[in-house]
Amino acid sequence: MKNDNLKIAVYICHCGGNISDVIDVKRVSQELATYPNVVIGKEYAFMCSSTGQDMVIEDIVKSGINRVVIAACSPALHEATFRGALKRAGINQYLYEHVNIREQASWVHKKDKEGATLKAIALVKAAVEKMARQDELNTIKVPTTQRVAIIGGGIAGMRAAISSAAAGLDVVLIEKQSHLGGKLKRSSAIYPTNETAASVVETLEGLIELNAKIKVFCNAKISSISGFAGNFQINFEFDEAKTEKVEAGVIIIATGFDHYKPYEGEYAYGLSNRVVTLPVFIDIMGTSAEKKLIYDGKTINRIVFVHCVGSRQIDGIDNAQDNGKVNDYCSRVCCSSALFTINKLKDKYPDVDVMDIYSDMRSYGMEHETYYENASKKDILFLRRPLEERPTITPLPDGTFSVKTVDVLTWNEELELIADMIVLVTGMIPNEITDLLEYMKIPRSSDGFIQEVHPKLRPVESANKGIYIAGTALGPMDIIETLQASNTASSKAVALLSQPEIHMDPFVAVVEEDKCSGCGLCPQECSYEGALCMRETDVNGNVKMVASVNQALCVGCGACVAVCPTRAINVAGWTLDQFDAMVEAIAKG
């Protein structure tokens, strides 16, 4: 269905006055009605309404319309709506062009009605020219492997494995350490449920062991990841010398986080054994004797907690990290975790004095606020420092510490405290997974954690389709949040693999083989491994080298298009011939 027998219908939407108050919609539709190849030119109050859509469908069915142009709001809002209408009318949904005359015309040219109308006419003509050169396009269907590969066997990975397997998918769980459970294995009680971490991990392990659909590989090191949504291949070594190749339709990254490790001298860290991080202190508390807190051979009577170590850092005040940047983000869980721990500490050792230096207390969870309140009741001395001030901690010759800090509640006075143990409330940092991210072509956010495709509405989806992220690989989260995130990641996996084929948009590079001269310029422009290569092909009985596209890997950027001397390669739906014609129509007006 090339240019012969074109029957294009053009509709101009009033958008209930949003457009028609500025643009003379009648004039636009009338002018277009007589334009070459256009057989219908109409305007209507709301094209997106079911009546509007029905009108389009009726015209297609009754008048044999085979291309549709609608000028209305942004395509972001209704392009899919009208494609759906074409589909329902029984014609190819891509024989449709959406012209934006609201956000990009009527709303911005309110005071220039004539200009806006002329602009609308030119834009709609351009769209008609585009449609005159539009072929049917078809959704690309990629068969899928009904298996999920999960990288990381901490609680996030384990939870995702259990959910995905329950939904009927095969699961391969790949863990670099010798055991599952990740960081949680080591810590003791967890908030808010007060369960032991070990019990949570054991429960998950039990469920995994019982499930024949889940295969676990420990001591694994991934050496390569290739493929695309529906068909990934992961190669890894495990148990020393064994190698394994796994095919999976979806990858879930559950690589977790690392604890921030203070540098030597940061709040006296490394200068004394009795300056410890919160995770270490939680371990100490888990095994310490009753009645008296003895650590490093000394009875501990006064402890100072310092919040935001390695978090909420400020350029120019704090030292940059290895990546050259400060950790300017909040680690989310540390305030609540510190308060939870302080309460435990006071319950176990009521006589230990606790001082807590913070800037904002971020005990945001419903139950977490009670930790704060309970701690306050237990005579914890909370000292609030201004955001930019840092406490100074100096080890004293007698083994105690001098802690100097500014307290906003007392006229910003500098106070000196003496303590015999310091707990640095350290935050979370991203795990070192640079290789993995490179294999998968996934970017990091400015905080170094994995970047989601949209932080608001698509928080577990990566930029690479078919790869989802569970838990703290995304950023700091507590245990419940981690498990919710991993459940959501598996929900995406189940949705993607719910059909034996994945359906993808057809806007990828297409080669007209008879036009291809085999010059080989285009693959050099392509940044996507495997997406475009030269291949010996039989073209109309003539075997020659032509460009060949792997549609599942092509992202449709068009880098190849610009260098083709014969215009043999184009992005489907966005061809150069179409753009030339559109520019021509615009220039003519």
In the region spanning residues 147 to 166, those forming contacts with another protein, defined by CB under 8 A, are 159, 163, 166
- Is the Cβ of residue 116 or residue 284 nearer to another protein in the bound state? 116
When the beta carbons of 115 and 399 are compared against another protein, the nearer one is 115
Q: Within 13 Å and on the Cβ side, how many CA atoms surround 195?
A: 12
Cβ-based burial of 469 (10 A; exposed 0-12, middle 13-18, buried ≥19): buried
Rounded CA gap, 301 and 287, in Å?
Answer: 17
Spatial separation of the C-alpha atoms in residues 255 and 231, rounded to whole Å: 21
SS (H, E, C) 235-295: EEEECCCEEEEEEECEEEECCCEEECCCCCCHHHECCECCEEEHHHHHHHHHHCCCCCCEE
d(CA 362, CA 372): 9
Measured from the CB atom, the residue of 135 and 369 that comes closer to another protein is 369
Q: Which stretch binds another protein (CB under 8 A): 253-261, 270-278, 431-439, 495-503?
A: 495-503
Of the candidates 495, 538, 566, 577, which one interacts with another protein according to CB under 8 A?
A: 495
Interacting stretch for another protein, rule CB under 8 A, among 265-273, 292-300, 390-398, 402-410?
A: 402-410
Check residue 213 for interaction with another protein (CB under 8 A): no
What is the Cα–Cα distance from 14 to 4, expressed in whole angstroms? 31
| C-alpha atoms less than 13 angstroms from C-alpha of 334 in its C-beta half-sphere | 31
Per-residue interface string for the shown chain with another protein, residues 410-449, x marking contact by CB under 8 A:
xxx----------------------------x---xxx-x
Q: Which is nearer to another protein, 426 or 488 (CB)?
A: 488
279 CA to centre of own chain: 28
DSSP-derived 3-state class of residue 450: strand
Residue of 12, 65, 118, 284 that binds another protein (CB under 8 A): 118
Q: Which structure tokens are listed for 36?
A: 């070459």
Selected from 457, 540, 541, 543, the binder of another protein by CB under 8 A is: 457
Site for another protein in 26-45 (CB under 8 A): 45
Q: Which residue has the tokens 């802690």?
A: 403
CB distance 460 to 488 below 8 Å: yes
Position among 27, 46, 402, 506 found at the interface with another protein (CB under 8 A): 46
Interacting residues with another protein between 277 and 316 (CB under 8 A): 311-312, 314
Instruction: Please state the closest distance from residue 316 (CB atom) to another protein, in A.
Output: 12
Nearest-angstrom CA–CA distance, 338 and 304? 11
Interface with another protein includes 370 (CB under 8 A)? yes
Near another protein by CB under 8 A: residue from 32, 70, 105, 532: 105
Q: Which is nearer to another protein, 391 or 427 (CB)?
A: 427
Shortest distance, position 295 Cβ to another protein, whole Å:
29
Which string of b and e fits 484-498 if b means at least 16 CB within 10 Å? bbbbbbbbbbbebbe
Exactly one of 67, 102, 346, 390 binds another protein (CB under 8 A); that residue is 102
In the complex with another protein, the residue whose CB is nearer, 84 or 518, is 84
Per-residue contact flags (x/-) with another protein for residues 459 to 488, judged by CB under 8 A: xx--x----------xx---xxx-xxx-xx
Q: How many residues bind another protein (CB under 8 A)?
A: 124
Does 137 help bind another protein (rule: CB under 8 A)?
no
User: Residue 226 is encoded by which pair of tokens?
Assistant: 């290739």
Q: Which stretch, 223-231, 269-277, 429-437, 521-529, contacts another protein (CB under 8 A)?
A: 521-529
Member of 492, 546, 552, 568 binding another protein (CB under 8 A): 492
3-state helix, strand, coil in the chain (%, to 5): 30, 30, 40
- Based on the shown chain and the rule CB under 8 A, indicate whether residue 146 belongs to the binding site for another protein: no
Alpha-carbon span 493 to 147, nearest angstrom: 9
Q: Closer CB to another protein, residue 178 or residue 446?
A: 446
Backbone angles phi, psi at 241, to 5 degrees: -100, -5
Site for another protein in 313-342 (CB under 8 A): 314, 328-330, 332
Can residue 143 be called a binding residue for another protein (CB under 8 A)?
Answer: no
Q: Closest CB to another protein among 51 and 223?
A: 51
Residues 54-93 that bind another protein (CB under 8 A): 74-78, 80-81, 84
Sole residue written with tokens 């494609």 = 83
Residue 100 contacts another protein per CB under 8 A: yes
Q: Does 49 bind another protein (CB under 8 A)?
A: yes
Q: Does 550 bind another protein (CB under 8 A)?
A: no
- Residue 310 corresponds to which tokens in the numbers above? 């390695």
Could you tell me the two tokens for 72?
Answer: 């209305």
Element (H, E) at 384: strand 381-384
Beta carbon nearer to another protein, 330 or 423: 330
Q: Which two tokens stand for residue 153?
A: 């066997």
- What's the min distance (Å) between Cβ of 297 and another protein? 37
Nearest to another protein of 145, 490 (CB atom): 490
Q: Does 16 bind another protein (CB under 8 A)?
A: yes
Footprint on residues 162-191 left by another protein (CB under 8 A): 163, 166-168, 190
115 binds another protein (CB under 8 A): yes
Annotate each residue in 239-278 with x if it binds another protein (CB under 8 A) or - if it does not, as one string. Answer: ----------------------------------------
Spatial distance between the Cα atoms of 187 and 304, rounded to a whole number of angstroms: 21
177/484 with CB nearer another protein: 484
Which residues, in sequence order, are CB contacts of 583 under 8 Å at separation 6+?
Answer: 126
C-alpha dihedral (437, 440, 445, 451), degrees to nearest 10: -130
Among 33, 39, 122, 545, which residue interacts with another protein (rule: CB under 8 A)? 122
CA dihedral 463, 465, 466, 471 (to 10 degrees): 20
CA-to-CA distance for 540 and 234, rounded, in angstroms?
38
**Binders in 565-584 for another protein, by CB under 8 A:** 571, 574, 576, 579-580, 582-584
